[in-house]
Structure 1
Amino acid sequence: MPELEMAPIRVMLVDDSVVARSIFSRVLGQHRDIEIVCEAADGDAALAQLNCNDVDIILLDIEMPKRSGLDALPDILVRSNGARILVVSAFAEENGSAALNALSLGACDTLAKPGKSGFSGKFSEILIDKVVRLGRSRRNTKHGDAIAVAKLAVEYQSLSRPECIAIGASTGGIPPIYEIIRNLVPALDCPIFITQHLPDAFMSFFARQLGGLTERTVSVATAGEVVKKNHIYIAPGDAHLTCRRGKDRIIIDRLDQYSHSRYCPSVDAMFASLAGIYGAGCMGMIFSGMGNDGAAGASDIFAAGGTTLVQDVESSVVWGMPGAVAKAGCASAILSPAQMTELLGRIAKSR
């Protein structure tokens, strides 16, 4: 669809600061593939703008008068016709819980707003890169992958109860992770390992939020821990979550470098490690995310006789990571998070 590729990425700016909106407009406006189509000073004004403007990307501040970005975010998502939301706020760095709340509500990414003297240079480059990548991913997911799903889905009859569940995700992956963990039946008590691409500073907030959704013990993984049932282990943001087999137990490891992946933490590193330990008992799950992290690791799970479930294109914010696994022929099934929840419930009843 050449006309879609040539059309500029349409952006709405939502920030109560006229100065900030002016700077964002100037920074983004210099890129030939970006068009600023409207602005708003608060959440309610943003909703009004969405009544008459179709946009691809929404830059959203968190702290605003009248109606904050967090309060308006769910309504903005409903009215935005699939636009990607990038939270650009000082709170994205100063208040990790607020930034994580935005991601859990459906924002795609966050970026810390610098001080008045720091809007040029590296910040501008990062902002442009995030807007372009999110804008292009929206169009690829919306228009380019729907036909591929029917061709790539692998037929499966029944799955046995896993000995471990390994979850990998990035952009747009937090809401489906929360849905899966919130709805896990107690009978499925195997250890769960999660690699979610997030800054290291966010990981403790992520663990705390996830822990509030389940009776299971949730923690950021620490090297030397003994793996236990009914525990959920989250990869730290600055290292890879792996495991090793001890004499009569499985032990958490921290891998500081993994040459086979450019991502840190890496889903590939976690999948490869767990496939080697649990073999056919390893179940991988890949949720929304840019890039291809998890594809090589899913191949390792497949080779070990395990299974990998991937999120479907319709429910994914970005079908990069799930699509890479599917296109490699390593997806045991392509499902929505709700379908995965139902499948896990059925598996838990099997013997």
Structure 2
Amino acid sequence: MVVDDSAVVRGLETRLLEADPQIKVIASVGNGQVALQTLERHEVEVVILDIEMPVLDGLSALPKLLARDPTLKVIMASTLTLRNAEISLQALEAGAADYLPKPAASREISADGAFKHDLIAKVKALGLARRRNQQRPGAKPGGTGFTAARTRQEAPVKAPAVTLRQQAPVVLRKAPVTAEAVDIIAIGSSTGGPQALFTVLGAMKGSGPLRQPILITQHMPATFTTILAGHISRSAGMDAHEGQDGEVIKGGQVYVAPGDYHMTVESKGTQKVIRLNQDPPENFCRPAVDPMFRSIARAYGRRTLGVVLTGMGSDGTKGGAMIVEAGGTIVAQDEATSVVWGMPGAIAQAGLCTAVLPIGEIGPYISKIANKR
């Protein structure tokens, strides 16, 4: 379901979505109140929810939509402003699955290839994740497809069942046999990542001051990463900020890759410094996790702890392989607690992880390794 007060934007987004044969749009509505009424009549898997709307705005509608259907996957959509970035992160903390920055001008929506890719990829990934969750024992019954076209039918509309591919088994590596503590913690995340980051870093607060630096690449545009760093500082009680080119890396600091820049590490004498670049996107992303992991494997070798949290795609797997080759350690989030088990699933199924853990156990696991003497 597409929810936006602009009929032009609704029409453009609907056409982009329905150009993919696996996606159908159940309804196209102008505010959150109508979206709630539509949810009573139709079975919906994914909602594209605008922030600024009359009658009932997106942030106010979000908890009501999730109360009506807790399995619903909601993507917040907004133009790229500081205010909207802040609201989008509040929405993620309140249960939204992801966010989608809209082009400033509605006429640019169809022309923006990156927006089209992200819109379709996120809807399909979240729809698939919802279906997988519903196939687990004890899961609430629900829909099976990315459901149907703009319609005002009163009867629920269902899409044909979709066969889900079997996932490869996870084979864990043995933990490196070493008495050495790690010198750096590198975290990669995407869809569902902000909530996961707050959980992981928040759980580390009680373990005392951290001597290692933490580098984070979260798939986010500029402005959003600025707000994310501020939220991490407040929620985790750690000094977090966007990394700056040439900045010397210090222990106990959290560095967030700024939107539209890959963040890497370079050895400079006895120091390690952050380098930012605008090399081509990797895995359709900039910032991407792979460049960060590769550079950290070269700079820190076996004293590296890499962490891959929830997200779609496979970013982090190639860089993670280099960390393992250098003697470092990789841990990933498990499927049950991931919003989308793409990134962590890919690296886990590649046999690179020493542990695949629920989100609530990752923070204590990191603290245990970080505090090793």
Residues 147/262 of structure 1: CA separation in 2 closer, same or farther (3 Å cut): closer
The residue that corresponds to 1:223 in the other structure is 245
Say how many residue pairs are matched: 336
Displacement of 1:39 after TM fit?
Answer: 4.5
Cα deviation, 1:305-336, whole Å, max 9, x if unaligned, reads: 11111121222222221122122211221112
Q: Which amino acid aligns with 1:110?
A: L
The residue that corresponds to 1:335 in the other structure is 357
The residue that corresponds to 1:299 in the other structure is 321
Give RMSD over aligned pairs: 3.1
The residue that corresponds to 2:223 in the other structure is 201
1:274 matched to 2:264? The reply is no
Contact 1:13 1:38 in 2 (8 A): yes
The residue that corresponds to 1:162 in the other structure is 182
Helix, strand or coil for the counterpart of 1:251?
A: strand
Displacement of 1:57 after TM fit?
Answer: 1.9
The residue that corresponds to 2:161 in the other structure is none
Displacement of 1:165 after TM fit?
Answer: 0.7
Residues 32/259 of structure 1: CA separation in 2 closer, same or farther (3 Å cut): closer
Q: Which amino acid aligns with 1:71?
A: S
- Mark the runs of 5 or more structure 2 residues left unpaired by the alignment: 133-163
Contact 1:57 1:131 in 2 (8 A): no
Q: Which amino acid aligns with 1:246?
A: K
Q: Which amino acid aligns with 2:251?
A: K
CA distance in 1, matches of 2:80, 2:277: 30
Range that drifts further, 206-215 or 74-83: 74-83
Contact 1:284 1:308 in 2 (8 A): yes
Q: Which amino acid aligns with 1:334?
A: V
Q: Which amino acid aligns with 1:190?
A: Q
Please list, as runs of the form range in 1=range in 2, the aligned pairs for 1:1-351 lying within 5 A after superposition: 12-17=1-6, 20-22=9-11, 24-25=13-14, 28-29=17-18, 31-77=20-66, 79-90=68-79, 95-105=84-94, 106-112=96-102, 114-115=104-105, 118=107, 121-123=110-112, 129-141=117-129, 142-143=131-132, 144=164, 148=168, 151-154=169-172, 161-184=181-204, 185-257=207-279, 263-347=285-369, 350-351=372-373
Residues 145/74 of structure 1: CA separation in 2 closer, same or farther (3 Å cut): farther
CA distance in 2, matches of 1:257, 1:120: 24
Cα deviation, 1:5-57, whole Å, max 9, x if unaligned, reads: xxxxxxx1223445544554455455543322234443344334334432122
Residues 100/271 of structure 1: CA separation in 2 closer, same or farther (3 Å cut): same
CA distance in 2, matches of 1:223, 1:119: 31
Range that drifts further, 340-349 or 187-196: 340-349
Helix, strand or coil for the counterpart of 1:122?
A: coil
Cα deviation, 1:100-159, whole Å, max 9, x if unaligned, reads: 43344434131325546x166315x666544432233235434347854xx214165799
Cα deviation, 1:213-272, whole Å, max 9, x if unaligned, reads: 233221111122221111001112232212222333222222343797653222111111
Helix, strand or coil for the counterpart of 2:276?
A: strand
Q: Which amino acid aligns with 2:35?
A: A
Contact 1:93 1:112 in 2 (8 A): no
TM-score w.r.t. length of structure 2 = 0.78
CA distance in 1, matches of 2:67, 2:270: 51
Q: Which amino acid aligns with 1:85?
A: V
CA distance in 2, matches of 1:50, 1:231: 44
Helix, strand or coil for the counterpart of 2:223?
A: helix
CA distance in 1, matches of 2:35, 2:279: 43
Displacement of 1:169 after TM fit?
Answer: 1.3
Give identity over the alignment, percent.
31
The residue that corresponds to 2:156 in the other structure is none
Helix, strand or coil for the counterpart of 1:35?
A: coil
CA distance in 2, matches of 1:88, 1:206: 17
Residues 46/197 of structure 1: CA separation in 2 closer, same or farther (3 Å cut): same
Contact 1:86 1:109 in 2 (8 A): yes
The residue that corresponds to 2:155 in the other structure is none
CA distance in 2, matches of 1:120, 1:247: 47
CA distance in 2, matches of 1:33, 1:77: 24
Contact 1:44 1:67 in 2 (8 A): yes
Displacement of 1:60 after TM fit?
Answer: 0.5
CA distance in 2, matches of 1:186, 1:197: 28
